[in-house]
Amino acid sequence: MDVVIRQEGCAGRITLNRPQALNAVTHAMCLEIEKALEAWRADDGITRIVIDAMGERAFSAGGDIAEMYATGMAGDYGYGRKFWRDEYRLNAKLFEYPKPIVSFLQGFTMGGGVGIGCHARHRIVGETAQVAMPECGIGLVPDVGGSLILAKAPGRTGEYLALTTTRLGPTDAIFAGFADLFVPEAGWEALKKALCASEDTSPISQAAMPPPDGALKTLQADIERCFAGERLGDIARALKADKTDFAAGAFKQIQRNAPLSMAAAVEMIHRLRGSGGIRQALEMEYRFTHRAMEHGDFLEGIRAAIIDKDRAPKWRHLGPEAVPSIDVSKMLMPLGAEALRFEEEETG
């Protein structure tokens, strides 16, 4: 089974079980998790949910996009769009769930893994945590509700993380808002057992410890100076003009990623900052992902990174300063009748 769902004591347990695939989330797994959450919602015998994953390398390195690529290359965009609709509906349910959810995030937690693990009420990271939103590198935007986390990150940290796709260790993940507490991984199994037996979630605070040193907080002055631009082009010009090692490194990173995706990510974060909610974030993300195969760089990004692995994508725009505002507007326009809905779809 790709996801193991069961009850232990007073806890509903969800365990991602594809360690050989770094627990990449499939469409079927999303539907199974959603079904379990709905069943447990009104079950008085379940007082909290615990989400974890098998294997040491990853909680989940993202969504399983092989089928999306295959169908998209054949001109069928329907499968990918349905996957994203169902996945985003699950992300909203996790965020809004009335009972406490506790997630344990080891190793890689990226993309779709963020959508499963980082909307929990109590998000626990250990010493191996590597959290990231790498979507701009494959022609998407930070999605699965990740755009909201980035919009709420301190200062301009959200823009920095979206555009550079930087990986965050445990302390930096907590600082940026992707996690809450650090618990050494040697103590995770004991904590999970305590959560299944306890009347409340107090074992979490009792197990938490000060995290190791991180780097993100010390970079805040650099980030504020270089990533405050209104548009992607403004940020790129600021980085080029700033004669520091930080700026040079950041500019090198953003040159690798899809310009259209980065420009849209900046716009999304700015729209959400201060007043955005999870449904607004997901609905706006879906505007982009709905169009990403046909009008964006997603298929080319997957080809270069995963299929051919040549790391030489041919993006639609020549660089971060070459994306007209109208192109961003077209990707983020309302979808009308095709807009994301948060009710389960009828199956005929």
Confidence of residue 346 (pLDDT cuts 50, 70, 90): low
Residues of the chain above pLDDT 90, percent = 95
- Tell me the mean pLDDT in the region 257-284: 96
pLDDT of res. 67: 87
Helix axes 259-272, 325-332, angle to 10 degrees: 70
Structure tokens at 80: 């990918």
Stretch among 64-78, 86-100, 261-275 having the lowest mean pLDDT: 64-78
- pLDDT bucket at 348, cuts 50 / 70 / 90: very low
Average pLDDT score over residue span 26-37:
97
Average pLDDT over residues 57-69: 92
Question: Angle of helix 78-96 relative to helix 66-73, nearest 10 degrees?
Answer: 150
State the SS3 of the chain. Answer: CCEEEEEECCEEEEEECCHHHCCCECHHHHHHHHHHHHHHHCCCCCCEEEEEECCCCEEECCECCHHHHHHHHCCCCHHHHHHHHHHHHHHHHHHHCCCCEEEEECEEEECHHHHHHCCCCEEEECCCCEEECCHHHHCCCCCCCHHHHHHHCCCCHHHHHHHHCCCECHHHHHHHCCCCEECCHHHHHHHHHHHHHCCCCHHHHHHCECCCCCCCHHHHHHHHHHCCCCCHHHHHHHHHHCCCHHHHHHHHHHCCCCHHHHHHHHHHHHHHCCCCCHHHHHHHHHHHHHHHHHHCCHHHHHHHHHHCCCCCCCCCCCCCCCCCHHHHHHHHCCCHHHCCCCCCCCCC
Q: How confident is the model at residue 233, as a pLDDT?
A: 97
Q: Is the pLDDT of residue 245 over 70?
A: yes
Q: What is the pLDDT of residue 344?
A: 73
Q: How confident is the model at residue 190 (pLDDT cuts 50, 70, 90)?
A: very high
Across residues 271-284, what is the average pLDDT? Answer: 95
21 class by beta-carbon count within 10 Å (0-12 exposed, 13-18 middle, 19+ buried)? middle
Whether residue 84 has pLDDT greater than 50: yes
Mean pLDDT of 242-256: 97
pTM (predicted TM-score): 0.96
Percent of the chain with pLDDT over 70: 99
Residue range 133-188, pLDDT digits in tens: 999 999 999 999 999 999 999 999 999 999 999 999 999 999 999 999 999 999 99
* Residues counted in the chain: 348
> What is the per-residue pLDDT across 311-343, written as a single tens digit (0 to 9) for each?
999 999 999 999 999 999 999 999 999 999 998
Mean pLDDT of the 262-274 span: 97
Integer Rg of the chain from CA: 20
The tokens describing 149, both together, are 């986390």
Distances (CA, A) of 138 to 1, 135, 299, 345: 28, 5, 8, 28
Chain position carrying tokens 């699965």: 144
CA atoms within 13 A on the CB side of 196: 15
Rounded Cα distance between 244 and 249, Å, is 9
Q: How far is CA 227 from the centre of its chain?
A: 20
